[in-house]
Amino acid sequence: MDKAESTLYKTSTLPLAVCLSLIYPLKSIEKGSDRNLVFVFEETKDLLDSIELYWNKQLQVEPQSFFSRMRELKARLYEQV
């Protein structure tokens, strides 16, 4: 699949975005509807598997990395507001 045809996965759920960004590159943060900001990742089978693990409460991440990344993402959010 070439880059022009790549499918994007978008979420406004901050904890999910934090977990995913520890594993996969965050492509961008976009303004969504209702003043929400949306985190954008390239959609892959591995990413979708990780999302399923997250919602099934089975995805494991290192806690200090999680909170450090959450601070980073919140800083990026405040820059865009």
List pLDDT tens digits, range 10-34. Answer: 999 999 999 999 999 999 999 888 8
User: What pLDDT score does 1 carry?
Assistant: 46
pTM of the predicted model as reported, rounded to 2 decimal places: 0.86
User: What pLDDT score does 28 carry?
Assistant: 94
Report the amino acid identity of residue 18: V
The residues near 66 (Cβ < 8 Å, ≥ 6 apart) are 18, 19, 22
Which of helix, strand or coil describes residue 6?
coil
* Site of tokens 């995805």: 59
d(CA 64, CA 9): 25
What Å distances lie between residue 9 and 40, 64, 67, 81, CA to CA?
6, 25, 22, 22
Report the amino acid identity of residue 32: G
